[in-house]
Chain A
């Protein structure tokens, strides 16, 4: 086989690989969008009212009428799990969006300007990182009172430094590229350079981190609710549903298993999506 043929084969293999990743990406994207749609229309998709109590039919095992059984107050588990999707998925999206945007903005500014502001911001992020994550979150939730939005704020405060560190490192590397020097010579303002030249070139790593963070953050939010610091009691949220059912795991396992499996499936879908996005953006797979 000549060298040229050999090269053709490698290119084709890479193309096939790339196509395969594209298909995977489309598949997981559809699944993820499906979950989000479920969360948006959760109110209309519930077969029963997730908050309607019916003590006569409390703690029924899964049946055709109640596919996931009912809980202590006779509320339909399936409806509660569907309605819980809203709390979990939406809060996670807002959380990840806020920390990735703010963290990146801080990181880019620190990396670009350097100096005293940079040193101060990095020390602040040191303090945030040195602070016990979950406990920091618990303290904030305790200050602001329970409620899922406070759990989101709490987790945001402890998780933003990750993004600013990534963005700062990328900016420091990009800053020395000739095209940035050219832009400075051409008279672009600092803001323009950061927005037009630096930001687009570092979106990849930030995007991958954010995608992979969705699953983790979903679990942490549910963990806070499980400890009673996130969503409050009547609200249908997966973590708090598991917490209130934990004493019944022996006799009525579906009360714990249904929300648990719901968390597992959603986290799994977003993790798979994150992995595929990473593979897709990996330069090793796009050389053609």
Chain B
């Protein structure tokens, strides 16, 4: 088990190399750089000499490959460099954005679990009743609404009309996390509901359910003891993948609600061509991807001992 996990984590190294190189390359081809962006933002016209001096100071005048390897060399010594915009260390900036994203991740996942699991089970147990149709209709609507539309609707109804929540998050608190978390939870619950319903329906049709009924086991006992346990694999996989997505910061939702997390940091860094920050973000995403996939596979093994690790190629 440990060997398997270690081997999987080793895959991270080539992926990290490829991804950081790729993003470095793409940012270079993008043409504009942080010096130009800063000048455009402040509206000042500076002489070409001054711009070049600024570039030289940041090392942007060197050839692309040299820049990449200088960055890589520093990284291997544990130095992620400084942000081009704020001049603060990248690592500190990144860590300071993490709590906001973590809070958003945890609250939206909790909301999703609270909404989707009971409703999904209810919809499966009461299959083809009005209840089932209603739940499925809601799930369908949630699936067809883009999250920026949901954000704007929530802003309009909850913040502007009812004044329950602040329109824009001024600080990281439970009250200000509510709207972005609800937005994310609506889309995720809609997706999960269908999965939970399908999994539970699948389990319900199995022989052991009829067997338990024939032996006089109460349905609620079968539901909680057996069906839930068997459905957990699907639910956990989905949850893991969503946690991965959310930890990367949700660019659109974080930007709309001005939520000062990793996603908004990435959007801002891209628009300013702040390479070191972008690199940190891209590396963070790659680490999440590999770790989440590994944890998902390990949890399969944990929940279903029939599955053998690394037994099947790929």
Contacts and interface: CB of A to CB of B under 8 A. Distances in A.
A139 B23 contact: yes
Nearest to B167: A250
B155 interface: yes
Interface stretch (B96-104, B278-286, B301-309): B278-286
A264 B145 contact: yes
Contacts of A127: 15, 18-19, 22
Given A130-B289, A250-B160, A215 B144 contact: yes
A271 B281 contact: no
A134 B282 CA distance: 12
Given A132-B281, A264-B145, A140 B156 contact: no
A227 interface: yes
Interface stretch (B47-55, B61-69, B227-235, B248-256): B248-256
B152 A246 contact: yes
A124 to B, nearest CB: 8
A205 interface: no
Interface string B238-272: 00000000001001100110000000001100110
B251 A271 contact: no
Contacts of A142: 30, 270-271
Interface in A250-279: 250, 253, 256, 260, 263-264, 267-268, 271-272
B13 to A, nearest CB: 12
Given A130-B19, A135-B266, A219 B285 contact: no
Interface-central residue, A139, A256, A272, by most chain B CB under 10 Å: A139
Contacts of A250: 156, 160
A201 to B, nearest CB: 21
Contact of B14 (A123, A140, A263): A123
Contacts of A49: none
B30 A223 contact: no
B29 interface: yes
Interface in A140-175: 140, 142-143
Interface in A219-254: 219, 222-223, 226-227, 239, 242-243, 246, 249-250, 253
A266 B205 CA distance: 35
Specify the main secondary structure of chain A where it touches its partner: helix
Contacts of B18: 123, 127
A131 interface: yes
Interface residues of B, number: 43
A138 interface: yes
Contact of B22 (A131, A219, A271): A131
Nearest to A145: B31
B195 interface: no
B147 A249 contact: no
Interface in B282-314: 282, 285-286, 289-290, 314
B149 interface: yes
Interface of B: 11, 14-15, 18-19, 22-23, 26-27, 29-31, 140-141, 143-149, 152-153, 155-156, 160, 248, 251-252, 255-256, 266-267, 270-271, 278, 281-282, 285-286, 289-290, 314
24 contacts: A123-B18, A126-B11, A130-B15, A130-B285, A131-B282, A132-B266, A135-B251, A135-B267, A135-B270, A138-B267, A139-B26, A139-B27, A139-B30, A139-B278, A215-B144, A227-B255, A227-B267, A246-B152, A249-B160, A267-B144, A267-B145, A267-B146, A268-B141, A271-B144
Given A122-B314, A130-B19, A223-B147, 18 more contacts: A130-B286, A130-B289, A131-B23, A131-B286, A132-B248, A132-B281, A132-B285, A134-B251, A139-B23, A139-B278, A142-B30, A219-B146, A223-B252, A227-B251, A227-B252, A242-B149, A260-B152, A264-B145
